[in-house]
Amino acid sequence: MSETLIEAKNLPRHVAIIMDGNGRWAEQRALARTEGHRRGSDAVRRVVRAARRLGVEALTLFAFSEQNWARPRIEVQLLMSLLREFLVSERGEILDNGIRLRAIGDLARLPPEVRMVLDPLANDSAENGDMTLTLALSYGGREEIADAARDLARAVAAGQLDPEAITPELLQSRIASVAVGEPDLLIRTGGELRISNFLLWGAAYSELHFTKKLWPDFEAEDLYQAIGAYQSRERRFGLTGAQVKVLRSAQNDNESSMAPRAVQGLVQGVR
């Protein structure tokens, strides 16, 4: 499938990717795992470009998990220096192409050399509106939900919040990654069929796409294929297929404002 065959109308607004398989890519070639990570960062460059060209509004990449800190020190160090290199080398392209760069995760754990390039780029690109590129760094879905719960617990302890007022919407408002929106499409490369602590909250209704391709081999074409597969799915958000059809045609007739408020949120997702 080529870029031009992608159906523009039903493009996922937010694509998230678990970029997995760098180590195996290298091991298959009797290279050091770190070489796989090097090639993996070239794949990041390719995919950011392809997503930007397609008009995807948000691309969220799982680059380093909270649990990845437990890997051998030398591998962690190399991943951090590749991250720094990526941010330095892509800075111009990110700014020139209207891309807003954000990071989610426990950024306080990142080495200062990374923060020195990450923070200014996040600042300088903050007003860009063509695509938001979010890097999940030192990120853990459970950790992030626990942070949000702690936030609410503090407000309760301070007498500012009634525990009865805690709703999914309120908890969600404290979950940092939700600020970048819920992924419509979540891709995992490398063949594993798991979420590995990525966007646990935001991925509740994401369409999942798994591919055996190892991340360093992932090309623009693989992104198009994933999007093509996404476009053939029916997102129901707990409704019946018949309800979804009614909502969709109402929306096409521009009558979605007549739908009850609660359902309107679903229409956004159903599109």
Kindly state the number of chain residues that form the binding site for ligand IPE, as judged by CB under 6 A.
Answer: 18
Q: Is 222 designated active site?
A: no
Closest by CA to 185, choosing from 42, 10, 9, is 10
**Nearest-5° Cα angle at 144, 170 to 83:** 135
Closest by CA to 48, choosing from 36, 59, 40, 64, is 59
Smallest distance, ligand IPE to C-beta of residue 164, A: 37
Structure tokens at 135: 């890097």
- Tell me which of 190, 202, 209, 224 binds ligand IPE, using CB under 6 A: 190
Please state whether beta strands 131-139 and 99-104 pair in parallel, antiparallel, or not at all (unpaired): parallel
Burial class for 73, CB neighbours closer than 10 Å (0-12, 13-18, 19+): exposed
Q: Is 151 designated active site?
A: no
Query: Contact region for ligand IPE (CB under 6 A) — 124-132, 187-195, 230-238, 262-270?
Result: 187-195
Closest by CA to 118, choosing from 141, 136, 130, is 136
Burial class for 100, CB neighbours closer than 10 Å (0-12, 13-18, 19+): buried
Cβ distance to ligand IPE smaller for residue 23 or 202: 23
Smallest distance, ligand IPE to C-beta of residue 234, A: 28
Cβ distance to ligand IPE smaller for residue 65 or 134: 65
Cβ distance to ligand IPE smaller for residue 15 or 152: 15
Cβ distance to ligand IPE smaller for residue 58 or 79: 79
Query: Contact region for Mg ion (CB under 5 A) — 17-25, 56-64, 125-133, 181-189?
Result: 17-25
Q: Which of 20, 22, 184, 222 is catalytic?
A: 20
Closest by CA to 60, choosing from 199, 192, 210, 195, is 199
Residue 83 binding partner per list Mg ion, ligand IPE, none, with a CB distance cut-off of 5 to 8 Å that depends on partner kind:
none
| Alpha carbon separation from 101 to 18, 21, 135, 220 (Å, rounded) | 18, 24, 8, 20
Query: Contact region for Mg ion (CB under 5 A) — 16-24, 86-94, 142-150, 160-168?
Result: 16-24
Per-residue interface string for the shown chain with Mg ion, residues 190-229, x marking contact by CB under 5 A: ----------------------------------------
What is d(CA 52, CA 7) in angstroms, rounded to the nearest whole number? 15
Q: Which residues are catalytic?
A: 20, 68
Residues making contact with ligand IPE (CB under 6 A): 18-24, 62-65, 68, 79, 190, 192, 194, 196, 215
